[in-house]
Amino acid sequence: MKKYLLTFILTALITVVIGQNLITNPSAESDPSSNGWTEASGSWSSGSEVAAHDGSYHFYAGSSISTAELYQDVDVSSFATSIDNGTQDFYFQGYMRDYNGTDEAEMIVEYRDASSNVLDTYDTGLHADADWTKYSDTRTAPVGTRIIRIRLLSKNNSFMSLGDSDGYTDDLLLNAGSTPLPIELISFNFSVEGKDIELTWETASEVNNDYFTVERSQDAVNFEPVGRVDGKGNYNGLSKYTLTDFNPLTGVSYYRLKQTDFDGKYSYSDIISVNYVTSTPFDGPSMKLFPNPTTRGSDVKMELSGLSPNKEILVVVTNVLGQQMYSKVIVSDTNGNILYAVDPYNQLPSGTYVVVATSDDKLLTKRLVIQ
């Protein structure tokens, strides 16, 4: 019998429309003077004079001058339409403290036009306290806003004695919206798995988080739900989630996360765009796993279609280390289809697995996530 190999060529491109936190290097985890920030005065660095509010470092002026300043210009021109319609809110928050209550810190947020004229300002005022204190502000960007300048100031009240400036700031956030998401979203990405789109996201923490809904759109305006994944309520730690779109749209489409609290309140993540192109139609064998992701003990079905009738198929399940967890030879029906339980005895522990189905020179693979 003549052997053949079906080749599917897929091209998938991703464009992140906005980032959840619009500030680069918001916690001084790398040297601010060389990553995202501009020194107006002083000699700024990543400091560890006190325990950081978040991460390992905080912003440290370290200069024996009266007032040191560091700033960052955030380009918000991608929001120009909603800004000029008077409907675009921005949320800012940050933390301040000093070493022992002597020196002072200050944060100023300036909304500027394309010529850098200041249109509106949020100013925390000077702060002197030996404990981290949170400051936040929500406001509608003035029409014409194209830049938001974040200014950090450290006032040295002991500069006459050549002491360092110990007004510290840390854990800054500038978010396009009226409130921060009740989750700390690390990433929201996609990958092509066969003829499906697999969407993955990670959170660093969750507060009152009931569930996520992945939504899809053709025009980035009108969205429809793709699927739902339960959240972890209140959880301070890394969480990973996966949901598969089994019927992706050809061409450019858009995805976003809708996060819903236990009290019914909801908020949206940033939008990602996917350009999904198939160079040849999918008229050959295909594999689907459902539900995927799933929970331990649940029945996971594997659906194979487009096979030769009455054909033996070897199904192997391996873990991420390549260790074989399960194998079985099954036979397609007279229509070239198979519907089979991947883990019929519910013995697979939580983890990520690869399901491989082979026959002659045909090979189908799919990733399975058991939570």
Give 210-224 pLDDT, tens digit per residue: 899 999 988 777 889
pLDDT for the residue 199: 92
pLDDT at 2 over 60: no
pLDDT at 236 over 50: yes
pLDDT at 8 over 50: no
pLDDT band at 3 (very low <50, low <70, confident <90, very high): very low
* Identity of the highest mean pLDDT range in 8-12, 65-69, 276-280: 65-69
pLDDT for the residue 165: 78
Q: Give the domains, in start order, of the chain with CATH numbers.
A: 10-17+182-278 (2.60.40.10), 32-175 (2.60.120.260), 286-370 (2.60.40.1930)
- Give, rounded to a whole angstrom, the gap between the first and last alpha carbons of the chain: 42
pTM: 0.49
pLDDT for the residue 4: 29
